């Protein structure tokens, strides 16, 4: 028997656009969510699984009734929809779902996937605020003890490479650590489809077999549907098409395959405020280079005229063009003048 699922990751629907997004953000994300359901029909899936962060705002008073109703309408089709709670779907600092917009879309056809589903195949692992490092990997593995080759859908900060947010940042789990924890508990999921990490995991397509083995699972993360931040402009919105074959017809071991499907969307230039972002970046770079120049100066002045004269006498910082340098001088002079008044 073959069953197909579509994984939708990090929708982050919001009435108000995130920073550097245009005012059409809400409507753009709703349109992409509709497109996901169209893809589900086209590929005759058993269910659509949203791996967390359906809404961007936790509190119901930050998400309008109209937006919630629009989501309910889109998800209310003949195809079941399963929701795995993410950190944006829970009350801050706890696993409490009460009063969250996330709960308001649940209904006959939209169900919570939290723990093992009734079919015994799917396992939903919700967000846990304590997840990090080996401890977090063990916490995920604990959900899967005594489960026979399940398909796992989690909202988890998994990454195949360390330090995804920089060497000083915390709050992520290595897939290698999770694979090790699964092997120690003799858990052998066929698949771990996860969210929270907005960057797509470039795995291509793959197949896992060997029923009952402790071989590493196939990982799936199609990336955030929302493209919520300016860092995601180059990432094409996608969903994961997951095909499960229980092997019964051929008396073989079960297999699973993952393939990413593009979701129709507007170009980045139409949904991100790229010019404003570029201007802000230039300004920040100018200020940073200015600070470098000031650090090498022997004296400091507080009048705009004296400051400009002193800075113009400094050599350009290495790798900085003259226009950026002049802009930095202008910003500094304006700041001093504003402070003086």
Average the pLDDT over 195-202 and give the result: 88
Residue 338: what are its φ and ψ, rounded to 5°? -65, -40
| 223, 228, 231, 233 alpha-carbon torsion, rounded to 10° | 80
CATH label, 2-271, candidates 3.90.76.10, 3.30.390.50, 3.20.20.70, 3.60.21.10: 3.60.21.10
Q: Is 99 or 209 the better-scoring residue by pLDDT?
A: 99
**pLDDT of amino acid 210:** 41
Measuring CA to CA, which residue among 300, 274, 332, 297 is closest to residue 324? 332
What secondary structure letter does DSSP report for 21?
B
Record the tokens describing residue 212, joined without a space: 């009952």
**pLDDT of amino acid 145:** 77
The H-assigned helical ranges of 166-316 are 175-184, 268-271, 274-296, 304-312
Q: What percent of the chain has pLDDT over 70?
A: 79
End-to-end CA distance of the chain: 76
Q: Is 172 or 215 the better-scoring residue by pLDDT?
A: 172
The rounded distance, in Å, linking the Cα atoms of 221 and 229 is 17
| Largest Cα–Cα separation, the chain | 85
**pLDDT of amino acid 284:** 64
Q: List, for residues 131-160, the tens digit of each pLDDT value.
A: 777 778 888 888 887 777 889 999 999 988
**pLDDT of amino acid 220:** 93
pLDDT category at 49 given cuts 50, 70, 90 is very high
Helix (H, G, I), strand (E, B) or coil at 335: helix
**pLDDT of amino acid 32:** 92
Q: Is 264 or 153 the better-scoring residue by pLDDT?
A: 153
Measuring CA to CA, which residue among 126, 128, 263 is closest to residue 200? 263
Q: List, for residues 207-258, the tens digit of each pLDDT value.
A: 444 444 446 788 999 999 987 565 666 788 999 999 998 877 776 788 899 9
Q: List, for residues 103-119, the tens digit of each pLDDT value.
A: 889 988 999 998 888 88
Give the DSSP letter string of 149-163.
S-EEEE---EESSS-
pLDDT category at 128 given cuts 50, 70, 90 is confident
- Residues paired with 193 in a beta bridge: 153, 220
In the sheet that holds 151-154, the strands lie side by side as 115-116, 122-125, 151-154, 191-194, 218-220
The CB density around residue 72, as the number of other CB atoms within 10 Å, is 15
The rounded distance, in Å, linking the Cα atoms of 102 and 211 is 35
Q: Is 53 or 247 the better-scoring residue by pLDDT?
A: 53
Sequence-distant (≥ 6) Cβ neighbours of residue 118 within 8 angstroms:
none
**pLDDT of amino acid 280:** 62
The rounded distance, in Å, linking the Cα atoms of 215 and 121 is 18
**pLDDT greater than 60 at residue 295:** yes
Task: List the Cα angle 90/93/99 in 5-degree steps.
Answer: 35
Measuring CA to CA, which residue among 78, 227, 258, 230 is closest to residue 152? 258
pLDDT, the chain, mean: 81
Average the pLDDT over 120-132 and give the result: 85
Q: Where are the domains of the chain?
A: 2-271, 274-340
Supply the pTM of this predicted model: 0.78
- 255 alpha-carbon distance from chain centroid: 27
**pLDDT greater than 60 at residue 163:** yes
**pLDDT of amino acid 70:** 95
The rounded distance, in Å, linking the Cα atoms of 328 and 27 is 38
Q: What percent of the chain has pLDDT over 90?
A: 29
Helix (H, G, I), strand (E, B) or coil at 219: strand
**pLDDT of amino acid 205:** 45
Average the pLDDT over 16-36 and give the result: 84
| Chain length of the chain | 341
pLDDT category at 330 given cuts 50, 70, 90 is confident
Measuring CA to CA, which residue among 340, 312, 336 is closest to residue 325? 312
**pLDDT of amino acid 207:** 46
**pLDDT greater than 70 at residue 326:** yes
Average the pLDDT over 323-336 and give the result: 78
The rounded distance, in Å, linking the Cα atoms of 226 and 265 is 10
What secondary structure letter does DSSP report for 109?
S
């Amino acid at each position: 028997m073959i069953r197909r699922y579509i994984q939708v990751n990090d929708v982050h629907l919001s009435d108000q656009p995130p920073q550097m997004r245009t005012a059409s953000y809400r409507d753009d994300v709703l349109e992409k969510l509709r497109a996901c359901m169209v893809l589900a029909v086209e590929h005759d899936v058993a269910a659509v699984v949203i791996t967390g962060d359906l809404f961007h705002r936790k509190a119901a008073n930050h998400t309008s009734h109209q937006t919630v109703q629009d989501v309910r309408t889109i998800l209310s089709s003949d195809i079941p929809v399963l929701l795995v709670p993410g950190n944006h779907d829970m009350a801050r600092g706890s696993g409490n779902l009460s009063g969250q917009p996330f709960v308001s879309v649940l209904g006959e056809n939209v169900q919570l996937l939290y723990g093992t589903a009734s079919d015994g195949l799917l396992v939903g692992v919700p967000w846990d605020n304590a997840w990090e490092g080996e401890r977090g990997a063990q916490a995920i593995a604990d959900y899967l003890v005594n489960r026979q080759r399940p398909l796992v859908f989690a909202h988890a900060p998994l990454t195949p490479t360390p330090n995804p947010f920089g060497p000083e940042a915390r709050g992520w789990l290595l897939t290698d650590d999770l694979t090790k924890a699964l092997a120690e508990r003799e858990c052998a999921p066929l698949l771990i489809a996860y969210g929270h990490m907005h960057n797509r995991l470039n795995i291509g397509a793959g197949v896992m077999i060997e029923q009952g083995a402790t071989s590493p699972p196939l990982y799936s993360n199609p990336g955030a549907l929302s493209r919520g931040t300016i860092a995601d402009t180059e990432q094409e919105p996608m969903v994961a098409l997951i095909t499960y074959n229980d092997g019964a017809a051929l008396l073989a071991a079960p297999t699973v395959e993952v393939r990413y499907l593009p979701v129709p969307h507007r170009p980045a230039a139409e949904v991100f405020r790229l010019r404003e972002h570029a201007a802000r970046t230039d300004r920040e770079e100018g200020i940073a280079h200015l600070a470098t120049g000031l650090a090498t100066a022997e004296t400091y002045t507080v009048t705009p005229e004296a400051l400009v004269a002193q800075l113009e006498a400094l050599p350009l910082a290495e790798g900085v063009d003259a226009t950026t340098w002049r802009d930095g001088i202008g910003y500094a002079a304006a700041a001093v003048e504003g402070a003086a008044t």
